[in-house]
Structure 1
Amino acid sequence: MSDLYPFPSEILPHSYPFILIDKIVEFEEEKRIVCLKNISNNDEFLQGHFKNNPVMPGSLILEAMAQASGLIIGSKKSKMAYLCRVKDAKFRKPVVPGDQLIITSSLIDKLPPLYIFETGASVGGEVVSEAGISLSF
C-alpha cells in the first residue's frame, strides 16, 4: 500500500464517526478507486446492530461505496456531491468485526451533474456487496 494518497477526510465532507473509508489503496484519476475500511468492535454502528452478534449494516456498506465513489470526483469539484440513486444493490455475506472491507468503485458514465459508478465491496477476496451508485452535484 502507498501512503502517497491523501486521507479520505481531506477530500470528503464527512467527519468522524460517519467517514467510512480508512485509506485509499489505489487511485486512477476520474476512473477507479480501491479503498479499505477496517471493521472493529469499537465502531459505533456495531453497538446496537445486533446485540451479541455485531454486523455492519448494509446501508453503511452502501454509504462506504458512495464515499469511495465521491473520492474519484471529489477533489475536482468545489460543490458537494449527493447520493441520488442506488441500483441493483446486493448483499451476499455479513461484514463483522475483524473484517477488512475492500471497497472498489469505477466511474462508468458522466452526464454532468450526474456521475454513475459500478461499486463493490469484498472481504478476503469474496464479494460481500455490489451496487450501481449515482452521485449528483
Structure 2
Amino acid sequence: MSQVSSKDYNQLKEDLKKKGYKLTPQRRAIVDTILLNKGKHLTAEEIYDEVKLGCPEIGLATVYRTILLLEEMGIIYRLDLNDGSARYEMAHDDEHHRHHHLVCNNCGKVIEVEADLLDDLEELIEKKCDFKIMDHSVKFYGLCSECVDKDI
C-alpha cells in the first residue's frame, strides 16, 4: 500500500499554506484514505466511511469541502464513470496526463491503463486545430476478461 512520505506532506502543507489553509489531521486522513485505496476510485461517501473509522468526529461536510479543495489544487482527480457517482483518485506527479480507464459494462470493474497511448493523436490535434491541449481524460467501456469468460 502507498504511504505519503514526509516530503510529500511537507509539499502538501506548503501548497495548502499558499492557498491560506493548513494540513489538518482531517485533511491528512482524507489524503491517506485516498492513497491507501489506490485503484478503487472511491466516492465521497466511501472516503467518509473509511476516514470515520480513524477520525470518528469528522463530518461528511468536511470530507466534501476537503475533496473540493484537493481537486481544485490538482492533488486529486474527479472521475465520472457513468455510474451516477463522482469518484476520486490521486493525481500522480509522474503522469503528463491523467491515466486512462477501462470500465466493464457488466460488473463495473475499473482497470487503470498507465501508458498514455494518445501522445501522437494529441500532437496531431494540436497542430491541426491550433489548440494547446493541457490534459485529457479517456474512458473505454466494454467487458472485462472475467465477464467475457462468463460468456454473457
Fold match, TM over 0.5? no
Larger gyration radius, structure 1 or structure 2: 2
Structure with more strand by fraction: 1
Higher relative contact order (CA 8 A, sep 6+): 1
Structure with more helix by fraction: 2
Normalised to the residue count of structure 2, the TM-score between the two structures is 0.29
